Structure formats: C-alpha cells, structure tokens
Chains A and B, each alone.
Chain A
C-alpha cells in the first residue's frame, strides 16, 4: 500500500488529469455546437422571410391583420375612404373572381395609365362607384382588382374584363357591395 505522501500525490495527479479531460470534452462540445448554431441561424434567416406573408410589407391602413389565410378586402374608392372592409365569405368571392378571369377574354384595349385615370374620373363623375378589391391568398400573394361599372380591372396583371349583368351582380353580392 502507498504511504501518505504517495496517496496525496496520486489524488492530485488524478484530479489534474480528470480536470484536463473535462475541459477537453467541454471544448469539443463547444467546437461542435458553434458551427451547428451558425448553420441553424443562417437557415432560419433564409427561411424566415419566405414564411412571412407578403401582406406584412403592405403599408396600407387596413385594419385586418389575418393575412395567413385567404382574405378579400374591398374599398369604395369613390367615397375617398382609405378603409377596407373584409369579406366574410372570402372563399366564394375568390372563386367568383377566378371564374370571371378564366372565362372572360381580356379586353384588347391596353390599359394605360392615362386610360385608367380617365376611367377613374368617369367613374367618380358618374353614379357608379369604383371598388378596389384586394385578394390575399394563404401563401401571402396579393392581387388587386378595380371593379367599376361592368368592368373588372386586374391591376396586378394589368388586364380588363367586361362583365355580364349576371356576373356583375353576383360579384357585387359576393363582395357585399350595397345596391345603390
């Protein structure tokens, strides 16, 4: 058996050894965790903007913040109001708009800025109101339409569609536009 000094020396030698070993393990863990952390950070930074809905970047004064699901908002532009109102049954309004776009042939008349201004002026002077319709899809993509007297103007694609009586009335009903 060892004497007192030998035992003491052995205790301290083993302690030193164990402390060094523990530090090495800690360093190894840190060295392997830092790259992992960097990768996770980079990935999350890349993926986060994609997962955020585009509507969040919109600076309009809309009060509806539920952009993660399909939503349809309407504004009566003839009343010079900035406030949109949301459509409760956004799904059917969206379907109706899709059907019109699919079935109708876009007008041959190019929709220049000048034409658009003229149309706005005419609409504001006439007894027919003009409505701005903002459709926000579940993936955040927004499409803006302008609905005036029997014409639907896809502002995003810059295309105009002539509407039949039935389509116009159905659309107004779906968009909860009051009959004047």
Chain B
C-alpha cells in the first residue's frame, strides 16, 4: 500500500483505469478531511474535485517523494484555506440544503468512520481547536505518519508532537478515563 503513488505512476504511463483506483482509494477521505476546514460537505467535495483535477492538469508536479495521499491532502488543505479566505462572510443557505448536507455528511461518515472507536473520537474532535482536530484526524483517521502530518499541516515534526500531546490531553478530559484509552 503506497497510498496511490503506484496507481498514479500507472496513470502517467497511460493506464486510464489507474485514476479510478486513486479516486476509489482517496476521494472520500479527502472530502472528509477538507470538511474539517470548511464545515460544508458539498464545498469539501467541490474542493476535492479541484484537488484531483490538479493531478491531471499538472501531471509532473507530483515528485513521488511523499505519498500521493499526503500530496493530495496538502493540495486539499491549501485549497480549503484559500476558500475560507475568500468566501463571503454572510452566506444564505436554504433549509432544505442543510437537511441534504446533513444526510450527505452522515453518509460520508458511514464510509470513513468504520469502527466505533473512530466514531467516538470524531464526535469529541468537534470540541477541539482546528489545529488539534486536523492533527488528530491525520494521525488517527488517515493513519499518516508524524512526518506526513507535518508536511500536510506545513508544520515541523516538533510542532505536530506538541499539538498531539495537547490534543490528547484535551480529549482525555472530554472523553473521560475510558475514552482516553481510545488514543
């Protein structure tokens, strides 16, 4: 398992079906990750589509030095932050849209949060500050290494260590003694 790099190499060599494999492997996770920033599942999906189209438009920008997952998450984060920076302060949302969005989010949660441990952790994450939430998400939900997490978050290893230490401490308080064992 190389988090999509070999599939992308196949795609670059002309195997169109390899792109499907990348999408199946990474698309939902990317949407779920971007949603941590934008808190809007449809926008997250839109941004994920843009991130994936980067793989087609700039075919040789990815240098295979990091996993494709890390690379896509880096693009996703950057695009999400860019979106947050430029979005309108006031946004009118139809109530029916909110209902749709909730349903879509729950559907995605079903796909990503495969076990009970992750579900409990996910509900507790909502109470954490953004940075901590993202760090926990990348380590515990996406199984990225500390180095990869640091790359995605544009921080150094030490900063990620500190973030995780503080996040775990917070989570233990939120989840209680039993919940602490999940980490």
Contact = CB atoms under 8 A, between A and B. Distances in A.
B57 A22 contact: yes
B45 interface: yes
B53 A18 contact: yes
Contacts, number: 35
Given A1-B42, A7-B49, A18 B57 contact: yes
A19 B58 CA distance: 9
B107 interface: yes
A8 interface: yes
Given A1-B42, A1-B104, A1-B108, A15 B53 contact: yes
A10 interface: yes
**Size bracket, chain A contacts:** 10 to 19
A130 B107 CA distance: 108
Contacts of B161: none
B20 interface: yes
Interface in A1-53: 1-2, 4, 7-8, 10-12, 14-15, 18-19, 22
B27 A7 contact: yes
B54 to A, nearest CB: 8
Interface string B37-50: 00001100100011
A15 to B, nearest CB: 4
B56 A15 contact: yes
Interface of B: 19-20, 23-24, 27, 41-42, 45, 49-50, 52-53, 56-57, 104, 107-108
Given A8-B20, A8-B23, A15-B53, 8 more contacts: A1-B108, A7-B23, A7-B27, A11-B23, A12-B53, A14-B53, A19-B57, A22-B57
28 contacts: A1-B41, A1-B42, A1-B45, A1-B104, A4-B23, A4-B24, A7-B23, A7-B27, A7-B45, A7-B49, A8-B19, A8-B20, A8-B23, A10-B49, A11-B23, A11-B49, A11-B52, A11-B53, A11-B56, A12-B53, A14-B49, A15-B53, A15-B56, A18-B53, A18-B57, A19-B56, A19-B57, A22-B57
